[in-house]
A and B are shown apart, each in its own frame.
Chain A
Amino acid sequence: MSRAVPPLSRNSQAPGTSSGRPIGTATRLTTASGQRPSSRGGPLGSNMRIKVEDAPMVRGGLGGIQNPGGLGGRQVQDRTYFVGLVRSKVSDLESEIQRLRRESESFTEDNKQYFALSKAAEDLSQQIEILRNELGDYNMVIDRLQTTGEVAELKKEIADLTAHNHQVESSIDEIYLEKQRKEQRIQRLEGDLAAEKKKAERVLENMNPELKQRYTKIRSTSHHFQTQMDTMQNEITSLEGQMNKMREQMSGAVIKQEALSLVEQIYELEFKRDQLSNESKNILTPDQERQKLTQQVKEDNQEIAAMDKQISELRERNENLKQNYDNDDVQASLLVAQQSKSTAAAADDETKQKYLELKKRELHIDEFFSTYEETRDQYLNDVKNVQKSNLTLLALISRTLVKGDQGISRDDYTQLKTNVDQHEAEKKKSNDTLAILAEQHRKVKQDYAKVETLDQKLTEELKELKKQYAKMQEDLDKFNDLEGLKKKAEKRKIQLAADKSNMGKQRQVTKMEIQTLQSQFEAAQTQLRDNETHQQLVGLEKKLQSVSQACFLTDEALQSQNVQGQYEQIKRQALELVQAHNRWLIQNFQNSPIA
C-alpha cells in the first residue's frame, strides 16, 4: 500500500534489478540519519549514479555536500527517507507535546496548590478574626471586672442576655411563621380574587349588549368618580397638612389658639341655631294641628261609612243568592221525588238511574202488551196461509203422481229433473250450512267449557281469597288484641327465663359430671395404654391393616393376571373364524371353479 502511493517510488522501481536493494538501504538510512553521508559514499552512491544519469542527481550529490538537509531531500527519491524524516519530526513533535503537557500539568498543580493555599489563608484569616473577637470579649470582660469587680454579676448578665437571645429567636421564628401564614393567606386571597374576576368577566360576556353598554357606562362614571375622589382626598390631605402647619405656627401664640377655639365654638353654635330655627319653622300652631286632625278623623269616618255600606250590600246579595239556591234545591228535590215515586227511595243518583231503567222496561212491556193481539193474529194468518199453500201443493203432487202413472211427458220429466237438481243443490247447501253450524256449535261448546273452567278457577280463587280474608281478619283481631298479645309475650318471656335459669343449673351439674366422667375416661385410657395386651393388640391391628391391604393388592394383581392369561376363548374364536373362512372359501370355489 505504501508502495503504490508516491510516483517517485515507481520510478525507482522501474530499473527493476535494484528494487530490492534500495529499500533495504533506505531503511538503514532512516534508522541512522546521522550516517547518511558515509552510506552515500559507499556502494549506494555508485548504484544511484548507475541507475539514472540526471542533473538532479548530480545536484543532489552536490547539495548533499553543501547542506545535508537539502541533500537528504534531494537524495531521497525513495519514500522511506521521507518516512524517516516525518518520523523524526513526529517524534520531535511528540517530545514537544510531552514537554508542553508536563508544563501544563505543573501549572495546574501550581494552580491547585495556589487555590488550596488561598483557601487555607482565608480560613486562617477567619480564625484570626474569630480570635480577635474573642480577645475583644476577653478584654471587655477584664475591663468590666476592673470597673465592677464582681464575677457573679457578670455571669448573671450573661445568663440574662442568653435568655433574651433565646426569646428573641423564638419571637423571630414566630414572626417567620406568621409571615408564611400571611403569605399563604395572601396567595389564597389572590386566587379568590382572580376567580372572582374571572367570574365577573364571564358574567360580563354573558350579558346582553344593552346591559353591557350600561355596565361600561357605569364603570366609566365610577372610574371618573374614583379619580375625582382621589383628587379630593389629595386635596384634603394637602389642606390638612396646611392646617397642621398653621397650627404649628400658631402654637407659639396662646391668644391665637384661644381665638381659634372660640371661632370653632362660634361655628358650632351657629350650626345649632340654624337647625333649631328650621325645626321651629316646621312646627305648626296647636289650632292648625287640631284642624288637621279633625279633618283626618272626618275622612276616616267617611271611609268607614262607605265600607259599612258595601258590607251591607254584599250581605244582601249573599242572602239573595242563598234564597235562590234554596229554591233551586227544593225544586230539584221535588223533581227527584216525583221520579222516584215507585221506588219511594231517597233521591240520590243511583236510584234515579234505576228508576229510569225500570220505566224504560215498563214502556217496552206496555208496547208488547198492546201489540200482542195484532201480532198473534198476523202469525195465525201466516200459519193458515202456509197450510193452504201446503194443501194446494199436495193436490198438485197427487195430480202429478196420477199423471205420472199415466206416463210422464218429456217436459214434465225435464221440469222434474231440474226441480230435483235444484232441490239437490239446496240440500247440499243446507247440508253445508248444517256442517258449518255443527262446527260453530262445537266451537261454542269449547268456549263454554273454557268459560266453565275459568269459572271454576275463579270460584276457587274466590274461596281462597275468602279464606285469606278470614285469616287476615283473624290476624287483625289478634293484632287488635294488643293486651292479649302482650300478655302472651310476657308469659313466654317468663317461661323462657325460667327455662334459662333451669338450664343454667343443669349446665353446672352437667359440667361437673362431664368432668368426673372425663377423668374416669382418662384413667381407663391410661390403664388401657399401660396394658400390654392392648399394646400388642394395637400392633396386631396395624399389622392386620397392612396385611389386609397387601392381600387386597395381591388380589387385584391376581385378577388382572388372570384376565391377561385367559387367552383360551380368544384362541377358540380365532380358530372358529379361520374354519368358517375356510368353509366359505371351499363352498365358493366348488360352486364356481377357477377358470
Chain B
Amino acid sequence: MTLTESNAFVSMASSADQDYPPSNILDPNDKVFWMTTGLYPQEFIITFKEPIEFRQIRFVTTNVKRFVMFTTSNQEPKNFETILEKTLSNNENNLQVTDFTLDRSIDVRYLKCVILAAYDSFSSVHSLKFDAENSRTGKKY
C-alpha cells in the first residue's frame, strides 16, 4: 500500500515542476523524485487525512546538506514541533538514505520538512516513508 493511495498527500510544496511533481515524494519508487529550485530554504508539508502514529522515518534525497522535520497533531497546520534536525554528508549526486528512529512514536496529522541548505543549486527528494514502532509487524504507510 503506497502512501499516495492511502490517506496521505503532499498539501504544500515550495517548488513545482511538471516533470518532478511533489507527489513523487510519497511514491515509494526511488527513481521518481521531487525537484527543488535554486534557493533555500525549500519545504513541503504532508497531510494525513487520518492522523497516524510512527516512530521510524526513511528519507531518501540527493545533495541535501541540512534539513529539519516538524510535526503537529493539530487540526490545522500550525504550531509545529521539531522532531528531527540533521546535517547530511555530501554524497556527490548519489542517493542519501537517512534512517532515523524517534525516541517514542508520535501522533501526526501534518508533517513539515524544511531543507535548509544543500550541496548544489538543486536538490531532490526521492521518497519519505514512515514505519510504526515495530517495523516488521507494523503497518507501513
Contacts and interface: CB of A to CB of B under 8 A. Distances in A.
A513 interface: yes
B78 A510 contact: no
Interface in A483-535: 502, 505-506, 508-510, 512-513, 516
Nearest to A515: B78
B110 A509 contact: yes
A6 B11 CA distance: 130
Contacts of A516: 78
Nearest to B10: A506
A506 B78 contact: no
B77 interface: yes
Contact of A502 (B9, B43, B76, B112): B9
Contacts of B47: 505, 509
Nearest to A503: B11
A503 to B, nearest CB: 10
B56 to A, nearest CB: 24
Nearest to B80: A516
Nearest to B47: A509
Given A502-B9, A510-B12, 14 more contacts: A505-B11, A505-B47, A506-B9, A506-B11, A509-B47, A509-B77, A509-B110, A510-B11, A512-B76, A512-B77, A512-B78, A513-B43, A513-B45, A513-B112
Interface string A441-482: 000000000000000000000000000000000000000000
A513 B76 CA distance: 10
B10 to A, nearest CB: 8
A516 B112 CA distance: 12
A510 B14 CA distance: 9
A513 B12 contact: yes
Contacts of B110: 509
Contacts of B11: 505-506, 508-510
20 contacts: A502-B9, A505-B9, A505-B11, A505-B47, A506-B9, A506-B11, A506-B12, A508-B11, A509-B11, A509-B12, A509-B45, A509-B47, A509-B77, A510-B12, A512-B76, A512-B77, A512-B78, A513-B43, A513-B112, A516-B78
Contacts of A506: 9-12
Contacts of B77: 509, 512-513
A509 to B, nearest CB: 4
Contacts of A509: 11-12, 45, 47, 77, 110
Interface residues of B, number: 12
Contacts of A513: 12, 43, 45, 77, 112
A506 B43 CA distance: 14
Interface in B40-97: 43, 45, 47, 76-78
A459 to B, nearest CB: 42
Dominant secondary structure of chain B at its interface with chain A: strand
A513 B43 CA distance: 10
Contacts of B45: 509, 513
A505 B49 CA distance: 10
Nearest to A509: B11
Contacts of B43: 513
A502 B47 CA distance: 11
Contacts of A510: 11-12
A288 B9 CA distance: 111
A505 B11 CA distance: 7
Interface in B82-124: 110, 112
A516 B114 CA distance: 13
A450 to B, nearest CB: 51
A506 B44 CA distance: 11
B85 to A, nearest CB: 16
A43 B140 CA distance: 164
A502 B12 CA distance: 11
Contacts of B112: 513
A418 B70 CA distance: 123
A508 B78 CA distance: 12
A120 to B, nearest CB: 95
A506 B16 CA distance: 13
A101 B125 CA distance: 122
Contacts of A512: 76-78
Contacts of A508: 11
B9, B12, B43, B110, most chain A CB atoms within 10 A: B12
Nearest to A512: B77
A502, A510, A513, most chain B CB atoms within 10 A: A513
A234 B83 CA distance: 124
Interface in B1-26: 9-12
Nearest to B49: A505
Contacts of B10: 506
A153 to B, nearest CB: 85
A509 B110 CA distance: 10
B45, B77, B78, most chain A CB atoms within 10 A: B77
A510 B12 CA distance: 5
Nearest to B78: A512
A35 B129 CA distance: 152
Nearest to A506: B11
A513 B79 CA distance: 11
A512 B70 CA distance: 15
9 smallest beta-carbon distances between A and B, as pairs = A509-B11, A510-B12, A512-B77, A509-B12, A506-B11, A513-B12, A509-B77, A509-B45, A505-B11
A509 B45 CA distance: 8
A513 B110 CA distance: 11
